[in-house]
Amino acid sequence: MSNTKHYKIILSGGGTGGHIYPAIAIADELKSRFPNAEFLFVGASDRMEMEKVPQAGYAIKGLWISGIQRKLTMKNLMFPLKLASSLLVSRKIINNFKPDVVIGTGGFASGPLLKTAVSKGVPSLIQEQNSYPGITNKLLSKSVDTICVAYEGLEKFFPKEKIILTGNPIRKDLLTAGDKHIAGKDAFKLIHSKQTLLVLGGSLGAKRVNELIEEKLDFFETLNVQVIWQCGKLYYQQYMHYNDLEFIQVHAFLNNMAMAYAAADVIISRAGASSVSELCVVGKPVIFIPSPNVAEDHQTKNAKAITEKDAAIMIKESHLDAEFETQFKVLIESLEKRLELGKNIKKLALVNATKDIADQVEKLLKKKM
């Protein structure tokens, strides 16, 4: 297929980094194949994609949409109005842009956009990052052409004949991060003889994870561990004063994620799907602390898919007080345990995910010709 063709491609997904970064990774791969293609992102107008997508060099339009809350709130009463508005705006976007293909990576905005595109006969693909799909993708699965998934066993939720196991899209610079330990420590001006803990709380931050790190600072110092602490932008003001301590670096956001992974000896992370996929590729020992506040508790399910293969440690938030110090100490003091976890988690990596998803998009474009 000629890569000079002027394709028009819409990508929709957002709300969290876990939906945004996969969409950007897919767009980057397609752009390298089709330099003349035109891209448009569609997101929720008040969420982080409105900032992150333009930073990555792509145009974005916003929909007035949000999810349904689990309890009766004013937001829920507004939902039918927001949905109607989003369907209307989606129709306008599809009519004006005339896409050759639409790609959804999950999140509220992808629902109305893909539903509209499918109703107009536009070839469509969704990428499901989690081992337990969100409501948007479950509803869309009946009508889209292709469903790219990161875990086995999703025929429980999706039509089997549409499923392709690809893994989650990964930023290219992470593929070699695991081999750059010295460069990573230098990038963060760390002491080479000390072990480094990398703490990842997600782009906004994780309240309980941050509280844990604050509680355990003396404990880390006793173990001679230095810490790169990504606390999230909501919490940075609260914790930035710990930068005064020699063995701690507090960051709202890590712009050089590859080097942060490279520098780490041990990683503490939430278990969002994109994070889990990245951590498999990086191949470092991980302690997962799943967020209990997500739909269908899918972070716990994501983490279990890894821990069941002896490839990581999981500690539930409710068990942190009882288990954290013991588990962490074992990991820091046993090189053998760290190497075993690192080796096992790397076996689970699907490193060609972005390429494989782009191949599926290409198939849909060929079909349309």
pLDDT for 86 equals 67
pLDDT for 90 equals 78
Domain chopping of the chain, boundaries: 8-169+351-368, 173-347
**CB-based burial, 16-51: b 16+ in 10 Å, e otherwise:** bbbbbbbbbbbbbbbbeebeebbbbbbbbbebbbbe
Confidence of residue 19 (pLDDT cuts 50, 70, 90): confident
pTM: 0.80
CATH architecture label of 173-347: 3-Layer(aba) Sandwich (3.40)
Measured between alpha carbons, how far is 25 from 266 in angstroms, rounded to an integer? 26
Measured between alpha carbons, how far is 252 from 234 in angstroms, rounded to an integer? 8
Q: What is the mean pLDDT of residues 158-175?
A: 91
Q: Establish whether domains 8-169+351-368 and 173-347 are of one fold.
A: yes
What is 8-169+351-368's CATH superfamily? Glycogen Phosphorylase B; (3.40.50.2000)
Q: What is the mean pLDDT of residues 288-298?
A: 85
Confidence of residue 43 (pLDDT cuts 50, 70, 90): confident
